[in-house]
Amino acid sequence: MHFVEDALAEAAVIAVPLIGGNKGPADVTRDVVGALDARPSPLWWGGLAVSVSALMLGSVAIAYQMAVGIGTWGLNRTVGWAFDITNFVFWIGIGHAGTLISAILFLLRQRWRTSVNRAAEAMTLFAVMCAGIFPVIHMGRPWMFFWMLPYPNARGPLWVNFSSPLVWDFFAISTYFTISAIFWYVGLIPDLATIRDREPRTRRSKIFGYLSLGWSGSFRTWHRYEVVYLLLAALGTPLVLSVHTIVSTDFATAVVPGWHTTIFPPYFVAGAIFSGMAMVLTLMLVARKTMRLEDYITQRHVDAMCSLVILTSGLVGLAYVTEFFIAYYSGNPYEQFAFYNRATGPLAWGYWIMVSCNVMIPQLFWFGAVRRNLVVVFIVAIFINVGMWFERFIIIVSSLERDFLPSAWASYRPTSIEIATFVGTLGLFFTLFLLFCRFVPVIAIAEIKGALRPAHGSHPAHDSYSGYSEDISPEPKSI
Amino acid sequence: MSGRLLVGVFKREGDVVRATNAARHEGLDIVDVYAPYAIHGLDRAMGLQHSRIPWVCFLLGLFGAVTMTAFQFWTSAVSWPINVGGKPWNSLPAFAPVIFEVMVLCAGVGTVAFFIWYAGLRPGLQSPMSDLRVTDDRFALVLRETGAFNRSAVEALFKRFHAVHIEERGDAA
């Protein structure tokens, strides 16, 4: 018996700790809350200034196209979907990594997720907000967006068409946003209480105290809380897969060559997690540096995220090859032409940017030296973000530009209004993220404290898992 | 339920788990344990039952799925059938995505709402032990002083498990 315990204790010591600096629970509270109290760095102010400027530019562009109409876009009769839908799919995809980290990795008991899940979930929320803007504008009369809801109305009642992927999309995106927001808030409640108790009588304490719903740390509540958290993770996991599956059916149920393929759902989900992981890496490397969280976001976290990038990059690469093979093997001339055109036609430059950014450059993460150089990791992550944006653009525009009838062929260029709208969503995303870093604990304090156990103080894990019900001996056992 | 409360504050997770376990074995009335994070194994030490929340979640999900199936059938095939591309009015496979989304929405939102209501969490509520740093780095075991409660024996039990602070409180819980 003692051998087993000694071996377990030794293993706990040898394993590299997730959190650096041999910290106790009080240190975690101090570090995370301290990061909120510290004066923002010039880098933060600079970032905020740029982001808010971009947001203002986007707001002006959106106001303009709402007033004038979406004729301000570069669309034509052949290319009816382009920049707008590209950006929608791009942002939704980014959101998916947050849910992967918060729900799927929770179910898989990947404990490294505790350091990044709060920020990744926030990223999900902000990305879905950005995504939602595009279809709403695309409706042409955005003030009538509530017509998407199947409510009893004076028009018949005329119901929405439940067989349409666009209606599925509406339900998927709104459910996804609601569940992500709730998941994020539930995770936040204990941390809000920690800040409330730490500094009675400040204004922040009052607001957080209200939002913490009187959380007292009662274990009877913790016990139920854990169950609720697990249930939300179990619901979030199939949800995130369903959302991008449904997004992909927007294309896959159409007859356009290059869209009409059954590979789209898994291909889109893998691409979404790939692009989102790159965005998590981008944001975490910045947050780590500017918020001094080096002990919480360590090389182990970067390594784990790089591994996921390699995996999903491989999946995306496999999908690219499969699409070409199936086009060749189907014997369908339209399908064959669509892919031949993708790699050699007028948008070939975009296609090859996509392949090099998504399949070739991420292979650098196989090398430990690259993963340890965080500047290089950051640059690679940016390349992936660019590559994944191009993936959606190429899929959408290159397929539409060259459809069945050569007489209908056309080309597409975004207008300044469309570009300004996209820049505006980038501004919204980074503005919200920078504000989040200042006002909300970026690290899940309570979860980190739970993950400290092997390194900290006693050895309760052994007691709680090994028939302790007979054990009421007062003295701590070995070690 | 009356009687005063005796609170033992501990510094280490292992101590509070063992102290709770010992208190339960001695038949003391455990009101609650306050902790900054969810301690694994403490539910067994306190003798807590499995939560019934998964059943609530399941029933809410079932409700969402059944309701949405019926609603889609009614709108598409009964209330105002519209021929879209010659597809059957009652095209169940096409209803699956929305059924799934509404199931998840009902189950997720409903479970959290039920939890908040059932755990008695309310905006503006005072938390009883927050001055003991139980949301920072301390663990508090709260016992109720009932009839045959031997105060000195309980204090000795707390001390045996390295309690750093012992105090008596009115029944706030």
Convert the pLDDT of each residue in A398-457 to its tens digit. 999 988 888 989 989 999 999 999 999 999 999 999 999 888 888 888 888 887 755 444
Q: Which of A223, A235, A463 sits opposite B14 (nearest CB)?
A: A463
Tokens for A19, please give them: 């959190």
- Is there a contact between A457 and B118 if contact means CB atoms under 8 Å apart? no
Rounded to whole angstroms, the Cα distance separating A389 from A383 reads 10
In this structure, the answer to whether residues B39 and B64 fall within a common structural domain is no
- Across the strands, what pairs with B165? B9
Q: Is residue A263 within 8 Å of residue A329, measured between CB atoms?
A: no
Report the half-sphere exposure of B53 (CA within 13 A, side-chain side): 28
- Per CATH, the number for A23-457 is 1.20.1630.10
Closest C-alpha to A219, from B164, B129, B146, B27 = B129
Convert the pLDDT of each residue in B8-25 to its tens digit. 888 888 888 888 888 888
Instruction: Count structural domains, chain B.
Output: 2
Q: What is the ipTM of this complex?
A: 0.91
Residues of chain A by 3-state class (helix, strand, coil), percent to 5: 75, 0, 25
> What residue type is assigned to position A285 of the chain?
L
Closest C-alpha to A118, from A173, A185, A175 = A185
Q: How far away is chain B from the Cα of A341, in angstroms, using its nearest Cα? A: 30
Convert the pLDDT of each residue in A186-209 to its tens digit. 999 998 888 888 877 788 888 888
Phi, psi for residue B5 in degrees, rounded to 5: -110, 140
Q: Average pLDDT of B115-121?
A: 89
Rounded to whole angstroms, the Cα distance separating B5 from B31 reads 8
CB contact, 8 Å: B119 with chain A?
Answer: yes
Q: Average pLDDT of B121-128?
A: 81
Q: Is A40 left (phi over 0), alpha (psi -120 to 50) or beta?
A: beta
- Is there a contact between B80 and A159 if contact means CB atoms under 8 Å apart? yes
What are the residue boundaries of the structural domains of chain A, listed by start? 23-457
How many inter-chain contacts (A to B, CB under 8 Å) are there?
A: 247
Q: Could you tell me if residue B109 is inside a domain?
A: yes
How confident is residue A158, by pLDDT bands cut at 50, 70 and 90?
A: confident
Report the half-sphere exposure of A431 (CA within 13 A, side-chain side): 17
From chain A residues 185-214, the ones with a CB under 8 A of any chain B CB are: 186, 189-190, 193-194, 196-198, 209-211, 213-214
Greater confidence (B108 vs A454) lies with B108
Q: Could you tell me if residue B101 is inside a domain?
A: yes
Q: Could you tell me if residue B123 is inside a domain?
A: no
Rounded to whole angstroms, the Cα distance separating A113 from A312 reads 17
Domain that holds residue B138: 5-49+128-169
3-class SS at A163? coil
Convert the pLDDT of each residue in B48-102 to its tens digit. 888 889 999 999 999 999 999 999 999 988 888 888 778 888 888 889 999 999 9
CB contact, 8 Å: A17 with chain B?
Answer: no
From chain A residues 283-322, the ones with a CB under 8 A of any chain B CB are: none
Q: What are the chain B neighbours of A193 within 8 Å (beta carbons)?
A: 127, 130, 135
DSSP A276-299: HHHHHHHHHHHHHHHTT-TTTS-H
What does each C-alpha distance from A454 to A16, A445, A458 come to in angstroms? Answer: 10, 17, 8
Query: The sheet that has B5-10: what strands, in order across it?
Result: B29-34, B139-144, B5-10, B163-169
In this structure, the answer to whether residues B112 and B86 fall within a common structural domain is yes
Q: What are the chain A neighbours of B136 within 8 Å (beta carbons)?
A: 25-26, 29, 194, 197-198
Rounded to whole angstroms, the Cα distance separating A416 from A72 reads 9
Say what the alpha-carbon torsion angle B125, B131, B136, B138 is, to the nearest 10 degrees: -120
* Residues sharing a CB contact under 8 Å with residue A222, sequence separation 6 or more, in sequence order: B35, B37, B38, B39
> What residue type is assigned to position A109 of the chain?
R
Q: How far away is chain B from the Cα of A156, in angstroms, using its nearest Cα? A: 8
Q: Count of residues for chain B?
A: 173
Which of A184, A218, A447 is most worth mutating to test chain B (most B CB atoms within 10 A of its CB)?
A: A218
Rounded to whole angstroms, the Cα distance separating A100 from A46 reads 31
In chain A, % of residues over pLDDT 90? 41
Q: How far away is chain B from the Cα of A297, in angstroms, using its nearest Cα? A: 20
In this structure, the answer to whether residues B107 and B132 fall within a common structural domain is no
Q: Is residue A159 within 8 Å of residue B79, measured between CB atoms?
A: yes
- Is there a contact between B21 and A450 if contact means CB atoms under 8 Å apart? no
Rounded to whole angstroms, the Cα distance separating A359 from A367 reads 15
Convert the pLDDT of each residue in A234-263 to its tens digit. 999 899 999 999 999 999 998 888 899 889
* Residues sharing a CB contact under 8 Å with residue B116, sequence separation 6 or more, in sequence order: A213
Rounded to whole angstroms, the Cα distance separating A420 from A381 reads 23
Q: Exposed e or buried b for every residue in A40-71, given b needs 16+ CB within 10 A? A: eeeebeebbeebbebbebbeebbeebbeeebe
Convert the pLDDT of each residue in A268-313 to its tens digit. 999 998 998 899 888 888 888 777 777 888 888 888 889 889 999 9
Closest C-alpha to A41, from A291, A286, A284 = A291
